[in-house]
Amino acid sequence: MTAVLALQQINKQFGHGHTAVTALKDANFEVSAGQFVAIIGPSGSGKSTFLTIAAGLQTPTSGQVLLNGTELATQSEKARLAYRFNEIGFILQSSNLIPFLTVTEQLKLVDKMAKRSFQAKRAQTLLAELALTEVATAYPNELSGGERQRVAIVRALYNDPSVILADEPTASLDTPRSIDVVERLAKEAHQHHKAIVMVTHDQRLIGNCDVVYKIEDGVMTKQ
């Protein structure tokens, strides 16, 4: 199996000299299609830094990020933007959604950005899969926290990216809802043959994961 996303020998330093912080040390990571991978670590361990580098939002101090075998760092800012849009789906802690668009409109926006017409069938299927058919015309503030994160999953899947990056997707949810969201992520990874990377600090959520990486003080180890 070839890796959809691979990070090799990644170092990331903030600042210089005395005050320098090393957020990532010689980190190696890979995820393949159909895999649900968790990265677990305490606050301040470097999880967010890892995600931003993986997504090309920050450049590493040294090391390589390969997305479908292409080195991200050598790409232009514009190409990385397009890459992010086409190849990476994001699920963030909260405020994923645009407050003044309904659930369906969020998906329509994706199509509009991609300059294609609305894929009604695909939207319908995905919304049904995540039990959101009822709230298709609701605004984000009319949804529960769990529903919001499920919409974020639909939104991330909708554009059919190579990899989905989830940054503590359950941070604002209670335990039953957290488990529900993570189970759904696992199911989507396996069913749609997607590479999904979830960052979390919650031990209880990693039961459904195919691979778990532990991160502590910037050092990543595969479990």
Ligand X SMILES: Nc1ncnc2c1ncn2[C@@H]1O[C@H](COP(=O)(O)OP(=O)(O)O)[C@@H](O)[C@H]1O
Instruction: Give the interface with Mg ion as residue ranges (CB under 5 A).
Output: 48
Site string for ligand X, 2-21 (x = CB under 6 A): ------------x------x
From Mg ion, another protein, ligand X, none, interface partner of 23 (C-beta below 5 to 8 A by class): ligand X
From Mg ion, another protein, ligand X, none, interface partner of 86 (C-beta below 5 to 8 A by class): another protein
DSSP 33: T
User: Which run of H or of E encompasses 62?
Assistant: strand 62-67
DSSP 138: -
Q: CB nearer to another protein: give 63 or 89.
A: 89
The Cα 2–Cα 5 span in angstroms is 9
Phi, psi angle pair for 65, to nearest 5°: -115, 120
Is residue 57 within the footprint of ligand X (CB under 6 A)? Answer: no
Least CB distance from residue 214 to ligand X, whole Å? Answer: 12
Q: CB nearer to another protein: give 98 or 128.
A: 98
Strand partners, 143: none
* Angle at alpha carbon of residue 152, lines to 212 and 6, rounded to 5°: 35
From ligand X, another protein, Mg ion, none, interface partner of 19 (C-beta below 5 to 8 A by class): none
Binding site for another protein (CB under 8 A): 48, 51-52, 55, 57-58, 78, 81-86, 88, 90, 92, 95-96, 98-100, 113, 139, 141, 167
Binding segment for ligand X among 37-45, 119-127, 150-158, 172-180 (CB under 6 A)? 37-45
* Angle at alpha carbon of residue 197, lines to 113 and 84, rounded to 5°: 25
Is residue 43 within the footprint of ligand X (CB under 6 A)? Answer: yes
Phi, psi angle pair for 124, to nearest 5°: -60, -45
8 A C-beta contact, residue 38 and residue 222: no
Q: SS3 of 175, please?
A: helix
Sites of contact with ligand X (CB under 6 A): 14, 21, 23, 41, 43-49
